[in-house]
A and B are shown apart, each in its own frame.
Chain A
Amino acid sequence: MVDAFVVSAAMLPMGKHRSSGYAGLAAPPARQALLDAGVERGDIDAVFCGHSFGGMLTGQRIAKELGLGGIPIVNTDNACSGGATALHLAQKSVAAGEHDIVLVVGVDKLTQFGGGTLPLVAEDPEVRQGMVMPALYAMRARRYLYERKAEPADLALVSVKARRHGAMNPFAQYQKEVDVDQVLSSRVIADPLTLLQCCPTGDGAAAVVVVSEKVFAAMGRPGMRIGASVLHSGTATSGTRNMLRPEISYHSAREAYAQAGITAADLDTVELHDAFSIAELVYYEALGLCEEGGSLEFLRSGETTFGGSVVVNPSGGLLSKGHPVGASGVAQVVEMFWQLTGVAGDRQVPDAKIALTHVTGGGISGFDHGACAVHIFERAD
């Protein structure tokens, strides 16, 4: 197997880019990633494009803008994991020796829905019953508060940290700090989750270039090696499920650690799927960043912010940076690329060498989540 490397990364500042379509959103970061990598259009072997709501041939519409064609272009839809799924396929194709230089794009435009919760597919019985993503996470939060004897103010601490990080990120949709009172007094979306505990609606696009070891060596520029790339679906069950121990993230993370030959303790920084405040606490445990039952203390101790042992969501995470679903998996990788190559500016994690990204995609009954992708990256010079 050949190692795969990320050699360049670019993204749009996330926000409400109402006047742009999918191609308009994705073309600038895709073009920038190619320029930064020093790759000519004719050198690209394949394009993998992740999105959820882009419609037919989203990747081809983007490629057309760039004058790319005559190569395999594959579109992946895995809800919030769409972008990470595209990276997974790119890594696999390079590792298998099929391609040497691959463009990975993630893009979505949520302003097209005019607000409200993300539309889920009504073929699903729980969706027909009224399930929406905030409700799912709210039930997880309610159970967490009950079992862990925690308070809504504890959940709010996640949003406060996310906003503090996002305030240092010019690419974040929200760049203003908030305090616990502001989080708790914002509008209730699905109790106990308030507006500032839910990721915002927005548009965005991100792109990275993935190359083989041979090409990476010839380029002679800093990048990151993809140490692990894991994609899982949930497992169906009609019975009970512990919502505080999401099995899909738990298993995906452990498989990724085994693939990369590291443990959670080796990680310097993590971008995890904090679509809602409660998610970050639950995923600390699922990813093994702290012991089971220890997430609240772990957050309070400051171990997951700057100066701590593992900086979680230095970008501000989905809560602050924004979450155009199909783009997020790639945007996380862009942030980790900037961190591991030392160009993250005010929010630089000092001497970051090993990073993890984690993104799930939910929205159907019987599964913990529909999809989960975990990647581990190592700085490579």
Chain B
Amino acid sequence: MTLLEPLPDLEEIRALNPDGTELLGSRCDSCGSGFFPRRQLCFECGADALRDVELGHRGVLYSYSRVELSSARPTPYTLGYVDLDNGVRVLADISVPEDLLVPDLPVALTTDPAGKWSFAPAVNPAEETDEN
């Protein structure tokens, strides 16, 4: 007989490192699958020891909607699915001016002064290099 323990709830969509710069997810060492938010079991291969990983800043906006009626949160807010460069799809707040919103828009993780995370239009990496 094995004495089992329940899986404790992980913290509420704990997305960011303490310095506020990175999405935290999980990676399965058995099959390589990545997950967001963090989890303890791999639903791709069934493994039970996942490790915390940083999921990267960048991705592409698959789709989005500005929600005007919701039982889940005060409205309005804009949600979108962001496909991260490592293949993980993340449902996230989208902070993009409405006239710039379009599917397949390159986006990057950003945080506001209050520490709230969202995705905004990505700055071209080449430009970033120029600035440096």
Contacts and interface: CB of A to CB of B under 8 A. Distances in A.
Contacts, number: 112
Contacts of B119: none
Interface in B79-132: 79-81, 83, 87-89, 91-93, 102-104
A134 B67 contact: yes
A128 B81 CA distance: 15
Interface string A247-268: 0000000000000000000000
Interface string A295-326: 00000000000000000000000000000000
Contact of B91 (A120, A129, A147): A129
A243 B63 CA distance: 9
Contacts of B81: 139
Interface string B67-79: 1111111000101
A35 interface: no
A103 to B, nearest CB: 33
B65 A142 contact: yes
B87 A130 contact: no
Interface in A125-176: 125-132, 134-135, 138-143, 146-147
Contacts of A238: 33-36, 43-44, 88-89
Contact of A132 (B72, B87, B103): B72
Contacts of A217: none
B79 A188 contact: no
Contact of A135 (B79, B87, B88): B79
A143 B63 contact: yes
A134 B69 contact: yes
Contact of B79 (A139, A140, A141, A143): A139
B67 A146 contact: no
A233 interface: no
Given A238-B88, A238-B89, A240-B89, A190 B67 contact: yes
B103 A142 contact: yes
A252 B27 CA distance: 31
B81 to A, nearest CB: 6
Interface residues of A, number: 41
Contacts of A193: 65
A142 B71 contact: no
A227 B37 CA distance: 42
Given A129-B13, A129-B92, A243-B63, A117 B43 contact: no
A116 interface: yes
Contacts of A116: 69-71
Contacts of B13: 125, 128-129
B93 to A, nearest CB: 8
B68 A143 contact: no
A32 interface: no
A236 interface: yes
A126 B91 contact: yes
B79 A236 contact: no
Contacts of A2: none
Residue picked from A141, A146, A240, A243, most chain B C-beta under 10 Å: A240
A120 B72 contact: yes
22 contacts: A116-B70, A116-B71, A117-B70, A118-B71, A129-B92, A130-B70, A130-B72, A130-B73, A132-B70, A135-B65, A135-B67, A142-B65, A187-B69, A188-B68, A189-B69, A190-B67, A191-B68, A236-B44, A238-B34, A238-B44, A239-B89, A241-B89
| Pairs of residues from A and B, 10 with the lowest C-beta to C-beta distance, nearest first | A138-B65, A139-B63, A143-B63, A146-B103, A130-B73, A236-B43, A116-B71, A190-B65, A117-B71, A142-B63
